[in-house]
Amino acid sequence: MHRNMTAEHRANNERPAPSWLRLAPAGLKAWWSGRHDGAPPSSDTDTGARPSSSTGRRTGQAGHELLEASVPAALWRMRATVRDEPGSLAALCTRLAGLGVDIVSLQTHPLADGVVDEFLLRAPAALTGSELSTQVEQAGGWDVWTERGDAHDLVDAPTRAVALATRTALDPAELPLALRQLLGRCTIRQVPGAQVRPHGPSGDGATGTTGIDEECATVMRLRAPDGGAITVERAHLPFTPAEFARARALVELDDRLGPRIPQSEDLLALPGAGRITIRRAGPRDLEATKALHERCSPETLRQRYHGPVADADRYLRHLLSPNFGRTLVVETGRGHVVGLGHLMWDGDETEVALLVEDSWQRRGLGGELLYRLVRMAAEAGSEAVYAVTQASNTGMLAAMRGLDLPLEYQVEEGTLVITARVEPVRPDLSRHAGTSD
């Protein structure tokens, strides 16, 4: 395929009408014309993506059917590398049309030695991923990757990028989640700035270098807003320069906006606790949370931090940073912080942790904090959260059981790890909620 295009075309991943189109089959001409005629989308495709359906649909001009309406269909995401020369994409599209596959959307990722074409396909339900890969390879593609799609994939890339940028602008804790949605299933780890070295061995997440790893293209490194390093790893699917540029733009947006915490407070009246406020916390709460530590007993601090009590304060700056998760505090009418709840992104998993001042325990504060943290995790797309505790920590055990969610228990190196599946979380925020500011 002829790929000479303007910089504007490349920036928008759009392709001009190619010369090979005159020689292409009628079905392929209809597809190209339908995608590039400049007409506004129909009423049921306001995002530019075609509607999801469990059955096939007609495409192109009258008389040209890529998928009969009576044939059950399935969505597939596919990537394939093709040669950057005339006819390469045409051969691939012709092969797909012969299989009755409808191309719903197409993006391009230019490389030094070819082009990665990323498709969203609607294919006959009987067609398997391996069969699809084999046909694409026979048409001249290589490094073919396929995965079943769903309705979320029907949102076009620009709309998705704007939505993720908005989420990140409103809340810096959304950055890791936005990166995961932008790049697909991946593991994201962040290293604080103090632990970053200017250079490091390949695969070392603490190195200060940025970009796609030269030896392992499934690893990407970005410079975090706080001077730390963000490492993104994705199994089997190499990152492209276009994906790195998108991820870097999202991180740079977060950096330009600076420190910020969403302002939200809930005033509650809990039995035995009186009227309290639960709100998001950030670095500005460092001194108040240190004071909480001073009022807590050594046993309470040990159960929370699983280490020397003297080291408890040094964890706070990290925990209060929105770049590593979300923190809720319980505040009395006098302004004293008497409870802390942490939701921490841990690669593919999410950890929850609680700390309640001794004199305020057994009043329902821990259960209220935990419920809200699990709600946040569910809204962020987590399927499970886990808590690291000890069998003697009856308060944490009671709080986890109070969620009324499926629990799994596992003992690791003398500690108890409790995992809760969060999908069935109820839609109501709190049974005790009062006024909200």
pLDDT tens for each residue of 334-393? 889 999 999 988 766 789 999 999 999 998 899 999 999 998 888 877 888 999 998 888
Over residues 95-119, the mean pLDDT reads: 91
Between CA 197 and CA 209 the distance in angstroms is 9
Residue 79 pLDDT > 50: yes
Question: Residues near 306 by Cβ (< 8 Å), separated by ≥ 6?
Answer: 388, 415
Report, as an integer, the average pLDDT of 233-243.
90
CB neighbour list of residue 189: distance below 8 Å, 6 or more residues apart: 205, 230, 231, 233, 347
pLDDT band at 90, cuts 50/70/90? very high
What pLDDT is attached to residue 278?
94
Residues in the chain: 437
284-331 pLDDT, tens digit each: 999 999 999 999 999 999 989 887 878 888 888 888 888 778 899 999
Distance of CA 362 to the CA centre of its chain: 36
Q: What is the mean pLDDT of the chain?
A: 78
Q: Which helix or strand (DSSP H or E) is residue 178 part of? A: helix 175-183
Tens digits of per-residue pLDDT, 256-295?
A: 888 777 777 788 887 777 789 999 998 899 999 999 999 9
| Alpha carbon 3 to chain centroid, angstroms | 32
pTM: 0.60
What's residue 113's pLDDT?
83
Residue pair 205/197 in contact (Cβ under 8 Å)? The answer is: no
The residues pairing with 267 across neighbouring beta strands, listed in sequence order, are 277
Dist CA 81 CA 68 (whole Å): 29
pLDDT at 188: 84
